[in-house]
Chains A and B, each alone.
Chain A
């Protein structure tokens, strides 16, 4: 199956700082990548759809100025949590599809803890 990686796997930061999370498709090109957020013992919540070369599409209620998404190439999308606060602490997971309408493959996730 297709492989998606994320970096870092976990990060601890101070309140007010910004954190960047990278998502890479290792063996396929991904025109579209997805960013999810997952709280403990809950389901995945789609935050935004990242499109290569264009602006991301954010889900209702997700602050686009706080969660900056850049999809600069067909294999890399980044999520930057700006001015992070403790309530942003969560498990962030990206996914990608090799083709539109096909299976999404998920990255291993990034655990963010904001102190």
Chain B
């Protein structure tokens, strides 16, 4: 049973546009929600993360919006650049225990020049 659903599967955005990727989770015990960026042949790199005590977190061009009641969170990439073309994974975990991450299936983002 997939506990984190991510959409869309792929996304094409023009340079300068806004890229939006959405995730929904089922387990209400999750309380840590990171986003990872992965380039081909590389390991995932932490992009930005949020905890449920805030509804939004912004770091540079990247913003996470979090809706606890809807059990949804999303990544917004403002002023998208060709260098942002990568696969993005949302994830969720519980702070207790071994902090195992549950990943979404990923979104392949292509930013066209």
Which A residues are closer than 8 A to B by beta carbons?
A: 1, 4, 6, 32, 34, 41-44, 46, 49, 57, 91, 93, 95, 97, 100-109, 111
Q: How many residues of B contact A (CB 8 A)?
A: 25
Contact residues in B for A46 (Cβ distance below 8 Å) = 100-101
- The A/B interface has a contact count, at CB < 8 Å, of 64
Contact residues in B for A107 (Cβ distance below 8 Å) = 43
Which B residues are closer than 8 A to A by beta carbons?
A: 32, 34, 36, 41-46, 49, 89, 93-101, 103-106, 108
Contact residues in A for B49 (Cβ distance below 8 Å) = 103
Looking across the interface, which residue of chain A has its beta carbon closest to that of B101? Answer: A104
Looking across the interface, which residue of chain A has its beta carbon closest to that of B2? Answer: A43
Given that A101-B32, A103-B49, A106-B36 are contacting pairs, would A44 and B44 also be in contact in the complex, using a CB cutoff of 8 Å?
yes
Question: Least Cβ distance of B53 to chain A in Å?
Answer: 15
Contact residues in B for A97 (Cβ distance below 8 Å) = 99
Looking across the interface, which residue of chain A has its beta carbon closest to that of B96? Answer: A101
Given that A42-B106, A46-B100 are contacting pairs, would A103 and B43 also be in contact in the complex, using a CB cutoff of 8 Å?
no
Contact residues in B for A32 (Cβ distance below 8 Å) = 98-99
B43, B93, B104, B105 — which one has the most chain A CB atoms within 10 A of its CB? B43
Excluding A44-B103, A101-B97, 7 further A-B contacts by CB distance (< 8 Å) are A41-B106, A43-B103, A43-B105, A49-B100, A100-B99, A103-B34, A106-B43
Cα–Cα, bound, A93→B44 (Å): 9
Question: Least Cβ distance of A41 to chain B in Å?
Answer: 8
Looking across the interface, which residue of chain B has its beta carbon closest to that of A99? Answer: B99
Asked if A102 and B42 sit within 8 Å, CB to CB, the answer is: no
